[in-house]
Amino acid sequence: MRSVTRFSAVLLGLATLVAMGCTSKPPDSTDAVGDAETNETETNEGETNDAKTGEAETNEAETNEAKMIVEKKSFGKTEDGTEVDHYTLTNDNGLKVGIMTYGATITSVDVPDRDGKFANVTLFRDSLAKYIEDSPYFGCVAGRYANRIAKGKFTLDDKEYSLTINNGENHLHGGTVGFDKLVWKAEPNFEADGSVSVCFSLTSPDGDQGYPGTLTSTVTYSLNNDNELKMEYTATTDKPTVLNLTNHAYWNLAGAGSGDILGHELTIVADRFLPVDAGLIPTGKLDPVADSPMDFTKPEKIGARIDQVEGGYDHCYVINESDDEGLTLCARVVEPTSGRAMESRTSQPAIQLYTGNFLDGKISGGGVDYQKHFAFCLETQHYPDAPNQPDFPSTVLRPGEKYSEVTVHKFTVQEK
């Protein structure tokens, strides 16, 4: 069994974020972290993703007082020899979230059903090599610009920029080599609120995929004992640019690879959505969802009307504004057989519903070929193609400004 580096939450205090970077050493925590470390054994590029198969060392508390931990292990190397690390966050309730530095990618989210049985509820690939070979953005951070930019062009301050084209005639999820295909730096953090987290950071140079400005980004994944998985995004730039970050997890609350998600009951707190053209570029209109198959304002099975939507759901919903302080409730999903439920809140103005329409059985994980509609995505974000749509909320980031967005997914169980 390979050795891991384990960080215990005992005696650890506030984690800090310094100058857009990450640090894992809270005040007076040197001894606690140092005593928990062990040597790692390197793995090769094709190593099996043991975080899903259960072969990795058990994430047990080292004392009864310290169940919340972060584990770190090697996940392999990229083709150019860059080491990729894998982190597992575990809370006191046994929930586990796996994340690797390649793409700041979530590889697993293990949550219980109403009988206490745990299952990974997000699609995954079995090894780093498989992620590199072919992964339709499973669990990654999509950027610099999540979703589509029409024809890969936009104008900012009277200058036109041309981006890489990778989706028909359009630019998708940051281009040919987006943030999903880069290795991020990572540091484990222990928050004052009792959550455990890992902060990932990445610097994208001026001109990367055609975007202006050197962009420094972080995403922090944290897990608390309320069974909330928080994703916090920050970024700064040295030139005016556009930015739209999201996480692209593929969810199946019955368990990854268990079948399609058409029986999941979905609520989206949105009275309007963005209609799209044949290339899935917004037309510029905001249409009401009422009296249409786009309406999820009340719980509805995902598959109830999907046949009425050409190609399946791949649409951006405008989240209803709320007078409540803090994050806005945007979606809730229940898988009725297992009872697993996920509630999502965000600071973002929109959420993209995607129902795995392009999965075709050619990609697998855990010995299962992922077929059409084997997962759904709920990608909190700004509007697609906003750089070319002046009536949409702006996605421009300028020097001296700080991009900051938060999304929280809370996992619960609905009793019969």
Residue-wise pLDDT tens digits, 209-262 = 999 999 999 999 999 999 999 999 999 999 999 999 999 999 999 999 999 999
pLDDT at 67: 81
Nearest C-alpha neighbor of 342 from the set 270, 246, 289, 264: 264
Distance CA 86, CA 74 (A): 6
Based on the number of CB atoms within 10 Å of its own CB, is 285 exposed (0-12), middle (13-18) or buried (19 or more)? exposed
Check if the beta carbon of residue 331 is closer than 8 Å to that of residue 298. Answer: no
Please state the domain count of the chain. 2
213 assigned to some structural domain: no
305: pLDDT strictly greater than 50? yes
324 pLDDT band, cuts 50/70/90, is: confident
Known catalytic membership, residue 379? yes
176 assigned to some structural domain: no
Domain that holds residue 354: 259-413
If asked whether residues 40 and 188 sit together in one domain, one would say yes
Percent of the chain scored above 70 by pLDDT? 84
Residue-wise pLDDT tens digits, 88-113 = 999 999 999 999 999 999 999 999 99
If asked whether residues 195 and 321 sit together in one domain, one would say no
Radius of gyration of the chain (CA): 20
If asked whether residues 84 and 189 sit together in one domain, one would say yes
Q: What are phi and psi of 133, to 5 degrees?
A: -65, -50
385 assigned to some structural domain: yes
Strand arrangement of the beta sheet that strand 377-381 belongs to? 287-288, 272-274, 314-318, 350-354, 377-381
38 pLDDT band, cuts 50/70/90, is: very low
Catalytic residue, chosen from 173, 379, 405, 409, is 379
5: pLDDT strictly greater than 80? no
173 assigned to some structural domain: no
Catalytic residue, chosen from 86, 248, 373, 409, is 248
If asked whether residues 195 and 336 sit together in one domain, one would say no
CATH classification at residue 385? 2.70.98.10
Neighbours of 272 (CB within 10 A): 18
If asked whether residues 191 and 80 sit together in one domain, one would say yes
295 assigned to some structural domain: yes
94 assigned to some structural domain: yes
19 pLDDT band, cuts 50/70/90, is: very low
If asked whether residues 265 and 116 sit together in one domain, one would say no
Residue-wise pLDDT tens digits, 47-59 = 444 444 333 333 3
If asked whether residues 76 and 192 sit together in one domain, one would say yes
